[in-house]
Structure 1
Amino acid sequence: MSFRKAFVVTAAVAALGIAAGAALAQTPAQKSLIDAAKAQGTVGEQSDGYLGFRTPSSDGSLTQAVQATNDARRAAYARSAQAAGTAPDVAAARAFETIVLPRISSGQWYRNASGQWVQR
């Protein structure tokens, strides 16, 4: 891994550390909604570093919770990318690969880089 890639990964790790629980942007109730939706397979992590809906949901509270989390992540990835001199989508993808993917629990879903939903 080149120095630049290592720096991007390190910066993405720091950025996601801020956004992982989205404590700055989501309430405990929103985190609980997301955790339940992940367990049910409605929501999953995506290789682009954001949460996504695997199945449609009419729950407005869940939609708001996912949006709050993704907004916090977007801001963190932008800060990380600026510090690393790269694009936010690169920082987001690196964070997914190095932090998020290894932490996805058995039975939960994630969208891979090919756009397919995969159950762990």
Structure 2
Amino acid sequence: MMNFRKLFVIGAAVAAIGVAGASMAQTNAQKSMIDEAKVEGVVGEQADGYLGFRSGTSDSDLQEAVRVTNEARRRAYASRAAETGVSTEVAAARMFEALLRARLAEGEWYRNAQGQWVQN
């Protein structure tokens, strides 16, 4: 059985890979667009390690930015999962707990494991 310290180290590594993968795939404009949508409460982080839409949007550029970011995260999670012997879903959830949730700004929204949107 893995101890908490080992889980934290694995989670932190997954987090670093996920963030690096996402930032390499998205442009600065896409990142800015997502950051603004987070502040507005349209987009939020999710307990599954991906971005989600808290409210609907018809902004196709924002939808594409979220898609690109989530795809980069998925690839990073899958790679890390293969290295550590866990599922992609577990690697993604660890990313959320280890890094993304800690980086949420005051007032930003996230979707918890129960599927509820919560404001930080």
State TM-score, norm by structure 2: 0.91
Q: Which residue identity does 1:9 align to in structure 2?
A: G
Question: Corresponding residue for 1:113?
Answer: 113
Task: Tell me how many residue pairs correspond in the alignment.
Answer: 118
Separation (CA, whole Å) in 2 of partners of 1:46 and 1:25: 19
Query: RMSD of the alignment, in Å?
Result: 1.5
Question: Corresponding residue for 2:102?
Answer: 102
Question: 2:77 is paired with a residue of what secondary structure?
Answer: helix
In proportion to residue count, which structure has more helix?
Answer: 2
Q: 1:41 to 1:6 in 2, by over 3 A?
A: closer
State TM-score, norm by structure 1: 0.91
Q: 1:109 to 1:87 in 2, by over 3 A?
A: same
Which consecutive unaligned segments of at least 5 residues does structure 1 have?
none
Shift of residue 15, structure 1, vs aligned partner: 1.7
Question: Corresponding residue for 1:83?
Answer: 83
Question: 2:25 is paired with a residue of what secondary structure?
Answer: coil
Query: Does 1:14 pair with 2:21?
Result: no
Question: Corresponding residue for 2:40?
Answer: 40
Identity of aligned residues (%): 52
Question: 1:106 is paired with a residue of what secondary structure?
Answer: coil
Q: 1:33 to 1:10 in 2, by over 3 A?
A: closer
Separation (CA, whole Å) in 2 of partners of 1:4 and 1:108: 29
